[in-house]
Structure 1
């Protein structure tokens, strides 16, 4: 991955209008319709990582990819849930991170291709992923979960459901700029908004309405910030201060501390949404931390 200066990322995002589906509710609805009419490709690139192999199976109609080290015996597994506002498909940066984790943490990484809005809903996807994590535990042993943005929301909701429904405490939950409260009601969001070139409230609320299905926006399966965190395993959380989701990340830090849940918070001033996925030096450092946390989780 080519490394670029962090300073050019925000101007580049503004230049290409990366936030256009978020700044307008109407544009967000049009985007859902476009994705409904013309779904995007989801498969991994042909040349992903020289030290991993990729396999695919279909479980209950869902494509589920498995990324493993080519050599040696991997230990445990990670279920990685990609982001994209619940409407956009997995992209190259997600695949690259998943492959890096598999190779460098010597673990099996499972990447489910879940149904996006308007076809998928929070409860349906969470239920499937609960079963997928349980399958991985039975197949590979110690299993963690992680995801970015929308995938971070799903990951924390699944960790809560595994605890509540099956008494399972995951060894690690990795959250990269997660969406935690889909009401978008945090009063600090408008304060951060002018600095964020990527996300915005109008479109976020539209996507949340699709994603919640028949659930209340404050149901933890939709907005995990409203869940009781007590009894969860350790959490690793990444957030940049130029991200409208950062205020809710800070609330999660406080709530975890009050609940006795171990949480290591990697907040980077001036960094953007999902900065660990970006081709910057700061992103590279964050990815190394993720690999380290997953490696440690499999060893515990």
Structure 2
């Protein structure tokens, strides 16, 4: 079912989607509730795309592998789900994963990583790095993707792969990524009134638990604080009604200065993680995502000399 774009912010506000993020106390209480009664993470029985799924365990983590049911997969994608470092993978994530596997004809590796208060940036980023290396050995070309908190983990892992293993990924694809866990961008307060999903007080409380013993400026916590030079191509999706959007602009601009190819898709008037939503623009974004994560796909479409400056703007109808 496809929903009108304009309904989404109204719905998010009506259900109080940002309630957990409105105050540090609510965020901490949410962590405690989910630590006591964690939510299920298994994929839904119906995903809308023809795929096969299996699961294994790595150091106690469930790790799912999703493959196209009607084709031999080429290469792989490690997909790291979002959820504020505290919420479990959702049905929308699973549907996107299945679509990537089916349309990109690739194996998608989905780690069910430990969330706060049990998981920390240092341990999870290191484990995702090892999953990427393992996927490369098993499946050949491997790409990284993630949304929101998972976008932070994915970009941080790409930096560790570059720095510690001399691995440059053919693509990292980021959907509304969290990039600076200091929440210090001066444009955030300007965007906050239009964001029905996220808010700084709770976000800061959650990210402070997530960083563990690492300082906020460590690139494994805040990838925007790291050196971008030498990374492989980036594809970034961000909506303007998202408090993470100002940092997405900084990532785009700094990546270009560092000589990193970046493709930036901005949804004018659209909310956090809009590519996961059941809307027309979400549907269009998911088609691009599957194409970009296909082995051998062109990077951005235009001539090579234009690629580092490619941006698109999508407006809410």
Category of TM-score, reference length = shorter chain:
over 0.9
Aligned to 2:88: 89
Aligned to 2:173: 174
Aligned to 1:31: 30
> How far apart are residue 72 of structure 1 and its match?
2.2
1:270 maps onto 2:269 in alignment: yes
Report if aligned partners of 1:142, 1:298 keep a CA contact under 8 Å in 2: no
Report if aligned partners of 1:253, 1:265 keep a CA contact under 8 Å in 2: yes
> How far apart are residue 298 of structure 1 and its match?
6.4
Aligned to 1:80: 79
After TM superposition, which residue ranges in structure 1, 4 or more long, deviate above 6 angstroms? none
Aligned to 1:222: 221
Report if aligned partners of 2:49, 2:102 keep a CA contact under 8 Å in 1: no
Aligned to 2:61: 62
For 1:119 and 1:48, how far apart are their aligned partners in 2? 29
> How far apart are residue 227 of structure 1 and its match?
0.7
For 2:240 and 2:46, how far apart are their aligned partners in 1? 33
Aligned to 1:3: 2
- 3-state SS of the aligned residue for 2:263? strand
RMSD (CA atoms) = 1.0
> How far apart are residue 64 of structure 1 and its match?
0.2
Report if aligned partners of 2:174, 2:236 keep a CA contact under 8 Å in 1: yes
For 1:169 and 1:86, how far apart are their aligned partners in 2? 26
Aligned to 1:191: 190
For 1:209 and 1:135, how far apart are their aligned partners in 2? 30
After superposition, where does 1:7-156 map in structure 2 within 5 Å? 7-156=6-155
For 2:60 and 2:23, how far apart are their aligned partners in 1? 33
For 1:275 and 1:165, how far apart are their aligned partners in 2? 33
- Summarize the Cα distance change of 1:3–1:250 in structure 2 as closer, same or farther, 3 Å threshold: same
Report if aligned partners of 1:10, 1:197 keep a CA contact under 8 Å in 2: yes
- Summarize the Cα distance change of 1:207–1:297 in structure 2 as closer, same or farther, 3 Å threshold: farther
Deviation sequence 1:53-95 (CA, Å, 0-9, x none)? 0100011111000000112211000000000000000000000
Aligned to 2:212: 213
Report if aligned partners of 2:83, 2:149 keep a CA contact under 8 Å in 1: yes
Report if aligned partners of 1:159, 1:170 keep a CA contact under 8 Å in 2: yes
- 3-state SS of the aligned residue for 1:6? coil
Aligned to 1:201: 200
> How far apart are residue 50 of structure 1 and its match?
4.7
Tell me, which stretches of 5 or more residues in structure 1 are unaligned? Answer: none
> How far apart are residue 48 of structure 1 and its match?
1.9
1:293 maps onto 2:301 in alignment: no
For 2:39 and 2:296, how far apart are their aligned partners in 1? 34
- Summarize the Cα distance change of 1:131–1:217 in structure 2 as closer, same or farther, 3 Å threshold: same
- 3-state SS of the aligned residue for 2:236? strand
> How far apart are residue 51 of structure 1 and its match?
1.3
- Summarize the Cα distance change of 1:68–1:115 in structure 2 as closer, same or farther, 3 Å threshold: same
Tell me, which stretches of 5 or more residues in structure 2 are unaligned? Answer: 300-317
Report if aligned partners of 2:75, 2:295 keep a CA contact under 8 Å in 1: no
- When normalised by structure 2's length, the TM-score is 0.93
For 2:53 and 2:26, how far apart are their aligned partners in 1? 36
For 2:298 and 2:173, how far apart are their aligned partners in 1? 16
> Number of aligned pairs?
299
